[in-house]
Chain A
């Protein structure tokens, strides 16, 4: 999850009042933000573009400017050291992704203001013409929403925040630009009307960001620009690429990959043009509304953009009118278990930057468009709870009496565990993920097709789910080779086989396995243990000679045991084959038993 850094001084300046770092960090936690830590950050200035690059104090001073990508021999010069709060972003709350959103929420929570923030859009003049071909499968990126925002002259800090906010929205709403992607431009470097159209991959060339002023064709960007390579998969199979271009034919961007150098936002820019293109309408809209609302919170003025589709279709965006939903107050009270008065409820909603009109036990709650997380009245109930503060919520137990019941496999496991401990065996716990080499080849077992295979293993060590418990035990002996013999271990755990009639097409079992290693570790030892365990489980075991590749010939038996009450267990015991010992670097005989205690649903 992305982590953002929020400067304490900067946040205080937007709040209009200075707060100590701890108070802000605490308030953010109470709002539900995930405060990673509070730190001192160092700002470095770029001699070329004047932009700030931010780092933690223990990191080496950077040589490369994050913004203009200039790289120099000398580290960048330190400009300032500042207190900051680092936040782990929460995917479900994009309205809390940046300093603008946090300012909006904190203003209410800290009592500086209350109620709905007004983010109305003023009429604007920019027009965007949309090419119908963007809706075709081979060039599909049909949705585009845009806005113009007049802002106080952009500072270096504003630019850094905007850049990070854009990245966070790409992650949280855009699903790494797959569903939606954002472009922000200096409107003074653009001549409207703007066209949303298509680019021939090998046709017109433009200078992408971060490559100086070298013009490149679309396909070339996907092949050799770092951002192009990172996101080329999003345009794979497209015969033409999406393109935003102004009236003079100057390229704004090639969504969802990269903007052009010419239209980039600079220190001092005052008019921004924002576009969001995407393949899912909601995600595309929400990205735009969240971004421009934040800019408005930080002092910007939003202006509308006219989107002209094919065949005269026309739309004016952004559509920031707040939404209203009705809740029943008693439902809120009982959901939270808090006897809040009407007046308290109104106040709490105000604190959470919502408006509530209350009449006859109901509230019409108005919330801004950017609260895309509100899909049900319970989401508003949760806002009330946050407004109250979890620390102030009384803690009670439910009064209803219910009867506890443990699972039968746990009851039988408890008996088996007690028996094994009494016999002097140490318990181990091992991972259920393993691989075919350690699980089959090392045990001389043919690989077969009865095991659950992981499709996207992270490493070659964990490619399947275990079908027996022998790997963990032999591995344990191997790890403890230095210790005196004899050694005795057991494990109680689940194994899974693929196949069967259950809805998951798997069969899961609870098993017990035990192992003894040492000069006297032989069939007789594990036979005694198997007998003892069966006896303690109330069963009597019947043995027959068995052959199994992991055991020495003539020293392996299978058993089945049944007892009163319908309990039955089955298993196998024997002396481990020397070849298996060698694969686990063991030099002493090992005898092992594995018992199927019971099937699991």
Chain B
């Protein structure tokens, strides 16, 4: 019978445990191997009955990535407490400035300082509590733990207790503070040589093969690799975390929308973000006193204050349509249309300004046009609203443009965006009739969400451009969709980039 082929690593592990059972890390040190190799080898030995592995779960605390600086310089609330240098009260504004000076945000300081019972926010000031006063004198257990871990590496709760640090207090304070420390459960293994193993080792009845971590070019070229075993690894161990750089999550949705329409045979259009009221409103039969044109809703532009109107005959047709319906079969709005108001520049409120410009350039069917672009509404910045957002607009100039194809095209688009269920309800807009609002069903949330408006352009919109064919039109918001897909409750996160979030969001959604 052939002798057992024993690898070098296996041999070293067996030798290391011969003198008595030991923890994996001790054996690794004694055998000059890394822990993964010891565990891998021990499992190999266990299968042959040479080795017994005892497993025990321990809780261990380690520093989070990038947390070393905080441990050295002090946690934000500790630095803040120190900087208060005996003061018991500081007005909020000064406190915010102080926090900023210390390189952190006041809300962070208050969050953790408050959790420790050091700081209190009331009546427009930050107060240092009794507890804060007392604990400003010496580091707390968790701070001492962090210092110890920084010096000695991850520590189990028992280790901390043996250092005179109250591990319960450490977990209470750091357990939910993932950016400072990670508390994790780990399996600690003891390895022991069995009697069978001891007898085998004593018999010497084996061939020792050389073991290496890596083959050298020379090993490969000379054929020496035939005599070498690669040391086995414990393949279940965690890897180092690497993250690929990715396009911005919101960009991926904008691109998906673009590609959906390109796949459906649409040509892409573009128009200026800063445009005249003529293209944003008048060309779409929005009367000049319509509430949407108020300063309340629309950003007007002071420079350049006015733009140029298109050729006079077109402007004349638009004017007549607003005033009396021209030859469109409409009664119009019945007011005096003003060229000056049409020339006023605005930040466009919708990308329908883009599609109507495209229609003006060529109204001949069949045509399908879409545009994705930034649009603006007069809003302040908050978690719910931004003064700008992205919209996708589309038009279809076609003999078959009608309500059935309007709903059909939109349903197809949202299917391409990943929504199987789409529904429509009637709505009213000044430039389409009939008009519809579009909703998609989010299975994850079991709710319908509103996506935007759609309709068939009124003849008052299309006829002045010489278009006699019906035209489907829609304008759909993309921020809402992005917020639902990425489960954001603050719209600003789409535009105020947080690197953690970029890393976190997987490329694949749904």
On A, residues with C-beta under 8 Å from B are 29-32, 34, 90-93, 175, 179, 280, 282, 334-338, 373, 375-379, 381-382, 385-386, 390-391, 393-407, 409-410, 417, 421, 424-433, 449, 451-459, 461-462, 465, 475-476, 479-484, 487-489, 494, 496, 498-499, 502-506, 508, 585, 600-601
Contact = CB atoms under 8 A, between A and B. Distances in A.
A481 B500 CA distance: 12
24 contacts: A92-B428, A336-B402, A336-B403, A338-B402, A338-B404, A375-B325, A376-B460, A378-B458, A385-B434, A390-B425, A391-B424, A393-B407, A406-B262, A409-B270, A427-B246, A427-B248, A428-B248, A430-B497, A433-B388, A453-B303, A455-B300, A465-B347, A503-B310, A504-B276
A455 B403 CA distance: 40
Contact of B270 (A393, A407, A456, A465): A407
A401 B247 CA distance: 32
Contacts of B407: 390, 393, 395
Interface of B: 65-66, 100, 103, 179, 245-248, 250-251, 258, 261-276, 289-291, 295, 299-310, 325, 328-335, 345, 347, 365-368, 374, 376, 378-381, 386-388, 396, 398-405, 407-409, 411-412, 423-430, 433-436, 456, 458-460, 470, 494-500, 502
Nearest to A336: B403
A480 B498 CA distance: 6
A482 B267 contact: no
A429 B333 CA distance: 41
A461 B300 contact: no
B66 A90 contact: no
The 6 A-B pairs at the shortest CB distance, nearest first, are namely A337-B402, A32-B426, A400-B366, A382-B434, A337-B404, A505-B304
Nearest to B243: A426
Contacts of A585: 100
Nearest to B307: A504
Contacts of B405: 337, 396-398
Interface of A, helix, strand, loop or mixed by DSSP: loop
B497 to A, nearest CB: 4
Nearest to A501: B308
Contacts of A399: 400
Contact of A465 (B246, B269, B273, B502): B273
Contacts of B309: 503
A274 to B, nearest CB: 23
A452 to B, nearest CB: 5
B403 A393 contact: yes
A34 B450 CA distance: 11
B506 to A, nearest CB: 15
B245 A386 contact: no
A504 B497 contact: no
B274 A504 contact: yes
B251 A429 contact: yes
Nearest to B308: A503
Given A335-B470, A376-B325, A379-B433, 17 more contacts: A175-B291, A179-B289, A375-B333, A390-B423, A398-B368, A400-B366, A403-B267, A407-B269, A429-B494, A432-B273, A433-B376, A451-B303, A453-B301, A465-B347, A483-B66, A483-B500, A504-B307
Contacts of A396: 400, 404-405, 408
A30 B502 CA distance: 41
Contacts of A410: 258, 268
Contacts of B496: 430, 475-476, 479
B265 A426 contact: no
Contacts of A494: 273, 374
Given A92-B428, A398-B396, A503-B310, A385 B403 contact: yes
A93 B428 contact: yes
A400 B428 contact: no
A334 B404 CA distance: 10
A92 to B, nearest CB: 4
Given A404-B265, A452-B274, A455-B299, A431 B330 contact: no
Given A417-B247, A426-B246, A427-B248, A506 B274 contact: yes
A169 to B, nearest CB: 13
Nearest to A280: B335
A489 B409 CA distance: 37
Contacts of B330: 375-376
Contact of A503 (B276, B494, B499): B276
A579 B325 CA distance: 60
A401 B265 contact: yes
A461 B404 contact: no
B268 A405 contact: yes
A376 B428 CA distance: 14
Nearest to A430: B495
A199 to B, nearest CB: 27
Contacts of B308: 503-505
B498 A508 contact: no
B329 A29 contact: no
Contacts of A378: 433-434, 456, 458-459
A382 B425 contact: no
A459 B258 contact: no
Nearest to A93: B428
Nearest to A587: B103
B501 to A, nearest CB: 10
B329 A376 contact: yes
A403 B295 contact: no
B510 to A, nearest CB: 21
Nearest to B69: A482
Contacts of B470: 334-335
B226 to A, nearest CB: 40
Nearest to A171: B291
A504 B498 CA distance: 35
A381 B408 contact: no
Contacts of B460: 375-376
Nearest to A499: B304
B358 to A, nearest CB: 11
A402 B367 contact: yes
Contacts of B265: 401-404
Contacts of B270: 407, 409, 600-601
Nearest to A29: B425
A179 B334 CA distance: 13
Given A379-B433, A417-B247, A601 B271 contact: yes
A163 B466 CA distance: 46
Contacts of A487: 499
Nearest to A473: B497
Contacts of A601: 270-272
Given A90-B428, A421-B247, A449-B303, A426 B499 contact: yes
Contacts of B66: 482-484
Nearest to A424: B245
A505 B308 CA distance: 8
A590 to B, nearest CB: 15
Contacts of A429: 248, 250-251, 494-495, 497
Given A335-B456, A336-B402, A393-B404, A30 B426 contact: yes
A404 to B, nearest CB: 4
B273 A496 contact: yes
A428 B250 CA distance: 9
A32 B459 contact: no
A561 to B, nearest CB: 23
Contacts of A377: 329
Contacts of B291: 91, 175
A499 B459 CA distance: 35
Contacts of B399: 400
Contacts of A600: 270, 272
A335 B267 contact: no
Contacts of A282: 334
